[in-house]
A and B are shown apart, each in its own frame.
Chain A
Amino acid sequence: MQEELKAIQEEALATLEQINDMKELQALKVAYLGKKGSLTQVLRGMGKLSPEERPVVGEIVNQVREAITKAIDEKSDLLEKAALEEKLKEESIDVTLPGRPVKVGGPHLLTKVIEEIEDLFIGMGYEVREGPEVETDYFNFEALNLPKNHPARDMQDSFYITNELLLRTHTSPVQARTMREYKGEKGFKMICPGKVYRRDTDDATHSHQFTQIEGLYVDKDVKMSDLKGVLNIFAKKMFGEDRNIRLRPSFFPFTEPSVEMDISCKVCHGEGCSVCKGTGWIEILGAGMVHPNVLEMGGYDPKVYSGFAFGMGPERIAMLKYGVSDIRQFYLNDNRFLKQFHQA
């Protein structure tokens, strides 16, 4: 009987060697270890053995069973692993195919510039104000020290609707409106972005509609050197730490003294080149100390309060900063133009 068991074990292990798939393995398991399996058959024959022999043979049977079971398990692991490998191989994909597209839009370039400027001034304690695009002659001109018949009204040909109402030619009326709101009682800082309109024929450098950002700071003891300091921060943050500013005297009816601010040319750093037309400087914005008449009309006592104001064109800034060469691009909304500026 012991030989019989030995033979079964050898036969089983030999057969196992040949097996290559799970089904055969299962069949082999049944054939040897199952209820009708060869090993079971041997066990059934144990009844014929003497009581002394039984434990000895039982021991051997167990050894044989364990050996076969272990071999089968090992084979099973092996087959499973092979099967998994096969499966993974089948599942492999071409990672160079493109990912599933995600739709992402983005802001208009002007909005991007405006929000950048808004955030910059918010950081310096400014609030953001808005005002109507259809303005009264009073707020658009008179409250800004531009009485009727003032020669400087020629400077900005306007779209009138009636004698008293027009499309605002600048965001400056918001200055006057904000001062009235604060009733001449306390200092404040504000900027105000918005659309403005002028009677210009649309071409590469003119647009009958464009945007402006106006800034105003009114308080006791506001100094012109404060204006210079604030504009310097603005220029460096907006255009780069290596840029310098230069103020030149200028004229605006609503400020006195008035200044024009230039920044040093990005290309030549002040040496003079074709970009800056040889001057080394590029004109960026107009500013000045709020004219006492404007303060007074806004309800602020010019003997107690002073202030500075500045106004800039996001189109011009965008053109300089991003190299846009035609102002009409901002309003054509060519899909290819818009998408150029969607990246973060």
Chain B
Amino acid sequence: MLVSLNWLKDYVDIDGITPEELAEKVTKSGIEVDSVEYVAEKSTNVVIGYVESCEKHPNADKLNLCQVDVGEEKLQIICGAPNVRQGQKVAVAKPGAVLPGNFKIKKAKLRGVESNGMICSLQELGFDEKHIPKEYAEGIYVFPEDTPVGESVASYLNSNDAILEFDLTPNRADCLNMLGVAYEVGALLDKPVSLPSEKVKTISEKASDYISIKVEDEKLNPYYGAFIIKDVEIKPSPLWMQNYLLAAGVRPINNVVDITNYVLMEYGQPLHAFDYDKLNSKEIVVRPAKQAEKIVTLDDVERTLTSENLVITNGKEPIALAGVMGGANTEVSSETKTILLEAAYFDSISIRKTVKATGLRSEASTRYEKGIDPNRVKHAGLRACHLLEAYAGGKVLEGVVEADVLDRSEKVVEMDTATINNRLGTDIASDEIAKILERLQFNFEQQGEHFKVFAPTRRGDITIFEDMLEEVARIFGYDNLPYTLPTGTAQAGGLTKRQHLRRAVKNYLEGVGLSETRTYSLTSESLINKLISPEIESLNPEPISLAMPMSEDHKFLRLSILPELLKTVSYNLARNQSNIAYYELGSIFITEEKELTKQPNEQLRLSGVLSGKWLEHLWQQENKKVDFYVVKGIVEGLFDHLELELSIQQAQLPDMHPGRTAGLLVDGESIGFIGQLHPALEKELDLKETYVFDINLEKVLEVHRYEPTYTAIPRYPSITRDIAFILDDQINAGDVQATIEEVGAPLVKQVHIFDLYKGENLPKGKKSVAYSLLYQDPERTLVDEEVEESYQKVIAAVNEKFKSYLRS
């Protein structure tokens, strides 16, 4: 809503406050003022002049020599504007005038002829393009004939106006008109609001002899009022009205249309003027459109309607799309003599449907959609009649013809001082509350602390106590509320065990060198089925797609974090960021339903991706590349950290390297995988050698039971023995380790691999794997003989099972 302050002054006294100060006050009271704009920059000594004569300059074709009457004197002025003519009223900058840009007007000689001033265009007076009527976009501005000579142009051009742009929240539709703004500003400044004149000198002819009204659905159209105005003369509207309309962003057309628009902006009540003589009937029937019924609207577009659209008809055919736009068949033209003025109340939902269906949105429909004041409908009609009398020579017929079941009652809200103060944390006196209600111009009855408020119908947003609480609070001033802290129920607060654990997982991963990422949950069709973990795949999940995606890239809810995470890796690779170690924690969305009828299962997963060098900038040794074992080490470390038993088994998965992939199992249940991407996928996604892990963290958090308890530090010494086995290449070192642990128990406490060797000195197809065994008994010191015995048992068992032998 654009609010012209000159216009606003017609209703409320805002003298002594700058536009900026007013903007600040309005903003702080709940309506954000987005901008303060001035119609024109300041200029001085510019008056209205009358061009008495206009002849060609004797020495220049394109210049005119004008004699201009500016009141107390006559000036000879040379003017280059193509549209200057004898008999015009124009803006004259007298010698000594200062125009925007500090442009000083002086007496001068142009091609040998004296020029004492300048006839100005609106641009030269510093007007913004959008406040210049189209016909004066080029050349000088011409005032109406009756404009008095010698007066300063400022008040006639509205050039001293400032315009505030109100950014209204949906509840404040009451400020979509000047009167509403006046009530708001009046309340803030504690100033009364003076209402515009609705006085009409009606003639004795009766409107009811001209028209009758029938409304088929009173719910959709609870009020329809028709005024008849005869003998109108179509001409431009008065300058002040055109200026106000321009300031409000409405283009002036002619007096009748401008008056309906002016009242729309003033009262917030849409009005429509029909050319009565084009009606071809004496009745107005408001009804739903027939299926496929057609109307050509004022914009000359033929529109096909449905029964959802409400139309105004002449009893036979539509003459307007109710509340949205008039029909071309009854349009007011320069020949119009008699008009039928419609002032109606239409249901907002019905209008919204028509707007949606036709794509037509106008100043009128916007106000209907947001709700108008039922008590202003008829008044707006009267106001327009008043203006038509004054500025269109109209004669208003007696009476308004109406169909009326409109509820105009005010909402009653009860409140009391104690509850208000209790809710706000304030100590406002009842008298002060009464004062606030007076400032708001709300009717109320007060009995001591108790108030019965009759919320004015212009404020459709006020229906309950809390709405009034806000009104009291905002006029009292949010700045004046004290700062307090809650004193109610004490609650420990804090993170749940699950949230703690999640933070622990994150801290671990960051501690070992991974950076957290955040990618999009929505992915593309080409990626949605990629890298889904085997236990998810086994559920046969149906990808969930958006009903109306905005792009192909963000269409499906992810079934794995990895694809979008991999996109970030190629993004980085393209920017020379090749050493990547990322992880992300987030939900995937699982359903088996083809058509979603209930919320999907949102499973928390932990995914990671590593590529390039693991450690950078090493100068002592070769820069180590990420490999399978780096990733495995991170994952094993995590489960160690969580004190969870993890089993890792060779696996074959789609899109993964067939020889470098393993499944992750907890309690025999699959919970994810690790490994290298299939080189084909790496190529497809513009990646280099890339390793990933993907874990069902939901499950991990669920099975996590670790409660640390103290175990005595062993008092007896341990003994270490090493063994190196020569094994067939295809035997898994882990299987051998498992055998050692099994056979060596209970004396063998720990086994780890410390060397792997292939090549020279070994037969082809063989490898040497060296294990270190730690023997310990918490109760006593071990003797060499028993260690030796166990050691030999282990060797025998491994050699027997794996057909291996010792490396000498």
A residues near B (Cβ < 8 Å) are 97-98, 100-101, 103-108, 110-111, 115, 118, 121-128, 132-136, 149, 151-152, 154-155, 159-162, 165, 167, 186-189, 195, 197, 199, 201, 208-209, 217, 219-226, 228-230, 232-233, 246-251, 256-259, 279, 289, 291-292, 306, 330-336, 338-339, 342
Partner-A contacts on B (CB < 8 A): 27-30, 32, 169-172, 349, 352, 369-370, 422-426, 464-467, 469-470, 473-474, 478-479, 481-496, 499, 503, 506, 509-522, 544-550, 554, 557, 568, 571-572, 575, 577, 579-583, 586-587, 589, 595-600, 602, 614-620
User: A226 to B426, alpha carbons, bound, how many Å?
Assistant: 11
23 contacts between A and B (CB under 8 A): A101-B615, A106-B516, A107-B506, A118-B495, A121-B493, A128-B494, A151-B170, A151-B369, A154-B170, A162-B547, A165-B596, A187-B488, A223-B423, A223-B425, A226-B486, A228-B481, A228-B482, A229-B484, A248-B28, A259-B478, A292-B464, A335-B515, A335-B580
B residues in contact with A197, CB < 8 Å = 521-522
Which 9 A-B residue pairings sit nearest by Cβ, starting from the closest? Answer: A225-B425, A103-B513, A249-B30, A223-B425, A257-B470, A251-B169, A219-B488, A187-B489, A125-B493
Closest residue of A by beta carbon distance from B479: A246
Residues of B within 8 A of A107 (CB): 506, 510, 516
Name the one of A105, A136, A246 contacting B515, with C-beta atoms under 8 angstroms.
A105
User: When A107-B506, A160-B548, A338-B517 are in contact, do A125 and B495 touch as well, CB less than 8 Å?
Assistant: no
- Contact status A250-B469, CB under 8 Å: no
Shortest CB-to-CB span from A304 to chain B, Å, is 12
Known contacts A108-B516, A161-B547, A219-B486; can you find 16 more A-B pairs with CB under 8 A? A97-B619, A101-B617, A105-B510, A122-B494, A124-B493, A125-B490, A151-B370, A159-B548, A167-B521, A187-B489, A195-B521, A221-B488, A222-B486, A251-B172, A332-B568, A342-B515
| Partner among B370, B517, B554 whose Cβ is within 8 Å of the Cβ of A108 | B517
Cα(A257)–Cα(B461), bound, Å:
12
Distance of A168 from chain B, by nearest CB (Å): 11
A307 to chain B, nearest CB (A): 10
Cβ-defined partner of B484 (8 Å) among A186, A225, A335: A225
The smallest C-beta distance from B571 to any residue of chain A, in angstroms, reads 6
CB distance from A294 to the nearest CB of B (A): 11
How far, in Å, is B773 (CB) from chain A's closest CB? 30
Known interface pairs A126-B493, A165-B596, A229-B484; A249-B478 also in contact (CB < 8 Å):
yes
| Set of chain A residues within 8 Å of B172, measured between Cβ atoms | 251
B699 CB to closest chain A CB, in angstroms? 17
Closest to B493 in A: A125
Query: Which residues of A sit under 8 angstroms from B479, Cβ to Cβ?
Result: 246-247
With a cutoff of 8 Å between Cβ atoms, the chain A residues found around residue B487 in the complex are 221
Choose one: B493, B496, B554, B572; the contact of A208 (CB below 8 Å): B554
Instruction: Point out the residues of chain A lying under 8 angstroms from B495, CB to CB.
Output: 118, 122, 128
- Whether B582 lies near A250 (C-beta < 8 A) is no
Nearest residue in A to B513 (C-beta to C-beta)? A103
Chain B residues within an 8 Å CB radius of A167: 521, 546, 557
Residues in B whose Cβ lies below 8 Å from that of A115 = 503
Contact check, A219 vs B489: say whether CB atoms are below 8 A apart: yes
The distance in angstroms between the C-alpha atoms of A325 and B521, with both chains bound, is: 23
A134 & B600 in contact (Cβ 8 Å cutoff): yes
List residues of chain B with CB within 8 A of the CB of A221. 422, 487-488
Most interface-central of B465, B486, B521, B586 (chain A CB within 10 A): B486
Residues on the A chain within 8 Å of B488, using CB: 187, 219-222
| Minimum distance in angstroms from A202 CB to a CB of chain B | 9
Q: How far, in angstroms, from A228 to B425 measured CA to CA in the complex?
A: 10
State A334–B519 Cα separation when bound (angstroms): 11
With contacts A105-B514, A162-B547, A223-B423 taken as known, whether A217 is within 8 angstroms of B493 at the C-beta atoms is no
Q: Are A224 and B424 in contact (CB under 8 A)?
A: yes
- Give every chain B residue within 8 A of A111 (Cβ-Cβ): 506, 516, 518
Chain A: CB-nearest residue to B491: A125
B571/A333 in contact, CB under 8 A: yes
Residue of A251, A291, A333 with most chain B CB atoms under a 10 A cut-off: A333
Chain A residue nearest in CB terms to B498: A130
Q: Across the interface, which residues of B come within 8 angstroms of A331, CB to CB?
A: 518-520
Taking a contact as CB atoms closer than 8 A, the residue among B493, B595, B599 that contacts A122 in the complex is B493
Contact check, B596 vs A251: say whether CB atoms are below 8 A apart: no
